[in-house]
Amino acid sequence: MSETRIRAEIRGPIAILTLDRPQKLNALDSLMIEAIEDWVAATERNRAVRVAILTGAGEKAFSAGGDIEAWAGLDPIGFGRHWIRDGHRVFDRLARLRQPLIAVLNGAAFGGGLELAGCADLIVAEVHARLGLPETGLAMTPGWSGTQRLVRRFGSRTVKRMALAGEMIGADEALAQGLVDAVAAKGDGLTQGLALAETIAARGPIAVQVVKSLINAAEGEETEAAIEALAGSLVATTADLAEGVAAFREKRKALFEDR
């Protein structure tokens, strides 16, 4: 997948996606956004995958955000309709991935890179990582849910300091504030992320996925879909459904038992 600037691999029950554009600090362009969406779809379908990890290549950055060269030439309509909306669609799908997602910050997570990390359920940051939302310094606004999902997950006051004042938060401070879940030594982030993923993968996979969906619903991430998915799964286990389907196929009236 080198042409899409990402690398995907499977290690047992763990899927790993690596942003692979270190010479550009793993800045995101349209090709990468599309590749992330394809990876989400493939991971969703892979029943052997229980946990997913998202990280970046190199030692400097998880992702420096959206690549200016990718959007600077867009007209205002195209910028809103495609760059912003496409990113939102993909990031929403990533946040709602059925498997738990761990982001491993191997360096800076700025702007769209921090919004991408914010899609994860758990975050491991290497000690040199920094978090920030520098968009207003460029007379821009965060465009991929920095003012929405990040507020729900990080809190409004922290996001205001980053987005309004341009404050950069280091890994240790981020841990103290609850923005990340663990801090690893430089170069050890993926190892620690894999250990966490293995711990999660050893637990009941259906229960883990249901709990993730319920917590997402509590955050307002996917309330409607979570309710209907859980209801559908419950009904799918019943003898009523089996009878209803059999009656449809046999072109007869269904005979449901009292329960």
Same domain, 212 and 129: no
- 175-232 pLDDT, tens digit per residue, is 999 999 999 999 999 999 999 999 999 999 999 999 999 999 998 887 777 787 778 8
Q: In terms of domains, do 143 and 175 share one?
A: yes
Could you say which of 44, 59, 69, 115 is catalytic? 115
Asked, for residue 149, whether it belongs to a domain, the answer is: yes
**What mean pLDDT comes out for the span 107-121?**
97
Q: Report if residue 257 sits inside a domain.
A: no
Query: End of a domain among 186, 201, 216?
Result: 201
Residue 8: predicted pLDDT: 97
Answer yes or no: do 12 and 44 share one domain.
yes
What is the helix (H) or strand (E) element at residue 103, kind and residue range? Answer: strand 101-105
- Kindly report the backbone phi and psi dihedral angles of residue 25, in degrees, each rounded to the nearest multiple of 5, phi listed first: 55, 35
Say whether both 95 and 151 belong to one domain: yes
What CATH number corresponds to the domain at position 45?
A: 3.90.226.10
CB 134 within 8 Å of CB 192? no
243 is a catalytic site residue: no
- Please give the torsion angle defined by the CA atoms of residues 183, 184, 190 and 196, in that order, rounded to the nearest 10 degrees: -60
CB 136 within 8 A of CB 164: yes
> Residue 131 domain-assigned?
yes
Question: With pLDDT > 90 as the criterion, what percentage of the chain qualifies?
Answer: 71
Q: Is residue 259 part of a domain?
A: no
Same-domain check for residues 225 and 186: no
Task: Assess contact for 8 and 46: CB atoms under 8 A.
Answer: no
Q: Residues 151, 235: one domain?
A: no
Enclosing domain of residue 233 = 205-250
Same domain, 35 and 92: yes
Domains held by the chain: number = 2
pLDDT of 2 over the 50 cut: no
**Does one domain contain both 150 and 228?**
no
Catalytic residue list contains 44: no
Which listed residue (135, 222, 228, 250) is catalytic?
135
Rounded to the nearest 5 degrees, what angle is found at the Cα of 190, between the Cα atoms of 1 and 110?
Answer: 75
pLDDT digits (tens, 9 = 90+) for 224-259: 777 877 788 888 888 888 888 899 899 999 898 876
Do 151 and 242 lie in a common domain? no
Classify the phi-psi angles of 26: left when phi > 0, otherwise alpha if psi is within -120 to 50, otherwise beta: left
Pairing type for strands 122-126 and 130-132 reads unpaired
pLDDT surpassing 90 at residue 138:
no
SS (H, E, C) 179-226: CCCEEECCCCHHHHHHHHHHHHHCCCHHHHHHHHHHHHHHCCCCHHHH
Based on the domain organization, do 166 and 74 belong to the same domain?
Answer: yes
What pTM does this model have? 0.89
Give the rounded percent of residues in the chain with a pLDDT score beyond 70.
96
Q: Does a structural domain hold residue 255?
A: no
